[in-house]
Chains A and B, each alone.
Chain A
């Protein structure tokens, strides 16, 4: 079954404690991206990757890092989380980068206290 898998689904952490949210896709997609969803703001893109070792900033990259060492994985790293990063995060993938985001993960609800 084609899918994008995020882990964990829920996470509560404290300010400043580094964390990683993993994302994996089984469709051999070149393009992957991360979004955050906040009430009343829709989705905003954090980072995207057009292929292995190719990443670039989205609209709201501050406070986040990503890496793309393998085609299937695209982890999101928060080196020093802050309360304003409390949000619902989605990973997405598609075959190529210029069409729609075709597949989304189920989301990771992060709370930073």
Chain B
């Protein structure tokens, strides 16, 4: 079946550092890929998405590129802020079959001032 693997956290960074959270996937065909962010006590918020190979999703300074050759969708941000501290989830939705999304386990990001 489909799967999403994220790097284990927590990822701890100082403010203004460069962020990378790795995400790789296994799926049949070419799924759509997403990143979500979850702040403490809240539901998930869609951060960005990409629907085909080489697409780059971007939002709020975060970016991720759909890499079909490496089956990856790594999340990056050039300069993190304390307010970016949250849990980040990578997810995919297959284009056929059940259409049921698969989520990664989440990566906690802690940004210190």
Contact = CB atoms under 8 A, between A and B. Distances in A.
A97 B46 contact: no
Contacts of B32: 98-100
B41 interface: yes
Given A99-B49, A99-B93, A100-B32, A40 B43 contact: no
B43 A4 contact: yes
Contacts of A43: 44, 89, 91, 103
A45 B104 contact: no
Given A40-B105, A42-B104, A42-B105, A97 B43 contact: no
The A contact surface, by secondary structure, is: loop
Nearest to A58: B100
A29 interface: no
B12 interface: no
Contacts of A107: 41-43
B45 A104 contact: yes
Contact of B101 (A40, A90, A101, A106): A101
Interface residues of A, number: 22
B42 A97 contact: no
Interface of B: 4, 32, 34, 41-46, 49, 89, 91, 93, 95, 99-101, 103-106
Given A43-B91, A43-B103, 20 more contacts: A4-B43, A42-B89, A42-B104, A43-B44, A43-B89, A90-B43, A92-B43, A92-B44, A98-B32, A98-B93, A98-B99, A99-B32, A99-B49, A99-B93, A100-B34, A100-B91, A101-B46, A104-B43, A105-B43, A106-B43
